[in-house]
Structure 1
Amino acid sequence: MLKYIRAKFRPANISHTAAPPTLAVIDPYSQAFIDSPYSALEQLRHHSPVHRCTSGSWLLSRHRDISAALADPRLSNTPSDYAVVNQRHRDRYTCADVANNTLPFMDAPQHTEARRNIARVFHEQLRRASLQSNLPTDTPSDLLHDFATPLCTKTLCSLFGIAPRQQTAELDRQLKLWANWFFSLFSAIPSQQHRQQLDAELHSFRQFCSGLLNQKRQHPSDDLPSALAQLHDQTPSISDTFMADNCMLLLADGLNADYAIANALHCLLQQPEKINQLRAKPELIPAAADELLRFDSPVLFIARRALEDIQLHDQLITENSGVLLMLAAANRDPDVFTDANTLNFEREAKPYLSFGRGQHGCIGRVLVKQLLELSLRWLISEAPNFALVRTQPLWQHQAGHRWLQDLPVKIP
């Protein structure tokens, strides 16, 4: 017998026309999709809001469906039985052990208390942080590599109590490399060679975070690892490895905020009138940060796994199927956002989903938004009038994400 979904997961009046032939070949993991996703996402919302793609996974593309899915306990965060990072591989692969130790891959109630406590100490440290001093002082020629990445790296090193004398260029490069490898956990692992390198990088990253936590336990100071070490000591049920792996998560989240900043600055440089609007009305900057994160999210989709059969609209999502929540599609749903394909800094506040929502919302979202607001203030007050070097951006092949390879600029 089919198990029907709650009313909250079933919009009242659903209608869609027959799907055009091009939808049959949509591959959300492909470079073509990453390069230009929004036309395909619009077709999905209109013609096939619950769509089975060529990989066998289901794509949800409407805001209402995705919002409900984020809160539905029948859609699990735990890795699929077929995934390399499934828990049965924990003794064989470091990547599987790390994945099953970190909050984004855990379901309630296992993750609930740990997430609440880790988020609390993280936000307490963030409230005391001074981000302004982390802005680069040299005029950048690339707004990703010369501006956003150094800003995020310096900010995270400060939060994690890494002294300026320790923050060498080599360490900066290594931290950023580890952060990018960590995010491979959220994508398909394409080969044994890739998995082996991922295991090696995660092992080194884990050792770094373990050493940092042990150092701060012995010599505590006013920084995030000291607070995490104290939390660990107060919570016997949390293992050393669990805390080190979630320390990795927090570092990777913050370091990769540079891609959200780069996406936002890229959007602005394509519409210089928006920069002039912020110069004239800087009070719009907090709303502008939200709108830029909605308009060109660095996260295209996140994955879930069906724990049972779910009937949604006219489709049956069978037990253990992969379900991709297309956050970028929800962020441009015209049923929620008027003129959704237009950048509007005076838009009425709406619940965009770039960071997920609810108990599995991204812990680092506050930091990302603060760094983006700081970057916008810098752009309108301190930076020269930049212009893009190339009209067509280059996007990394990072499934689930939309990350620029670079953002070269010039001064006309």
Structure 2
Amino acid sequence: MTPQDGPRRLTSVEVAGRLGIKVETLYAYVSRGRISCTRTQEGSLFDPLEVEAFAARNRPRPLRRHGASTARPLMVLDTDLALVEDDELYLRGQSASDLARTSTVERVAAWIWHGDWEAPLSSPPTTDLAQVATLLASLPAGADRIDQLQAAAIGLGTTDPGRDEISQGALQRAGARFLHGVPRLLGDPFTPGVETRSVAETLWLALTPHPPRPEHVRAVDAALILTIDHDLAISTFAGRIAASGRASGYAVLSAALGAFASPLHGSISVTTVQLLRSVLDGAAPEDALRTAVRSSAARLPGFGHFLYADGDSRATTLLELIPDLPHGAEVTAAVTDLTEVVNRRSSQHPNIDLALAALVLAAGMHEGDGPLLFGLGRSVGWIAHGLAEQTERPLRLRPQGRYTGP
């Protein structure tokens, strides 16, 4: 391919910025054959996929503690919820993949919050949902799914007379009202019998035009369960900080959602949907990948994760369920084509963002629904971390600043 064919390659300045190095350092890598470039009259140009492969190979390995979690420079917090070990995710010692294949998000939430699979989870009454529905309807036309989740957290909080109670029970009630309330708010909360449907079935009816089948509901449940927790993501840490200040469950959710609404965290699946859609619409996988790398704030969207050496087990589990969805065959083929191209050029494997994007497109959902599924599933983990933080000393997560000004 010549430099003029397909999407424009990266300049030396763009590559240096992506790798966090000086341009001089980049050219030293080129001279030693560690990365290649094409010389043109305008300067050196670089293949985006090769750049991503180079970044993955040269990413500093994080320090490890027991259980393969990451020791970050800021702090290490004890957690008994999520563990990544031998490329598998475990929730309280249970395989997340096994839970995704066999359980429902309600049962897993009850177990995580109460220690009892059968513990009842309170659902907001229709009168509360009517008020919150009015709030969601008043959002501007440009509001996205994360905006709706944030508005739902605020609305469900203001309609809960016990929201300011500081207790484990209040946090559990806030999580349950959010988990049950959001799916109903996205559809018709006044449909007779809606309160008897599962969270996953209610979501399917609200987000897709297809009648739900058991395999469809299973895929949604799997997505919600697989996204419950994953070490201390920035949204989880934000929620724990709020809980450290003894915030309500709704404020914990709002704080977490504020950090979640970022292109490097909760919104990556939207970019990944666009990448996958491009291939479905006929673009060559390599061209689609180059465009995605150049336009995304993230690394190669949908691929790679520093906690997994040989692939994200969450993605593997969810992608197994995609062929049974209404548009599953064509979406699975597109995922395979993309993966083959990436595997030829790098060591990165599909991650949960690619699997969520595949679910969105295979189910016929709106292209922005990935963060909704991710955020609703992760809310179970946010509340669990809030419960854990309530047992700690208040305000322990307030760091001390070190003045560096004049």
TM-score where L is the length of structure 2: 0.28
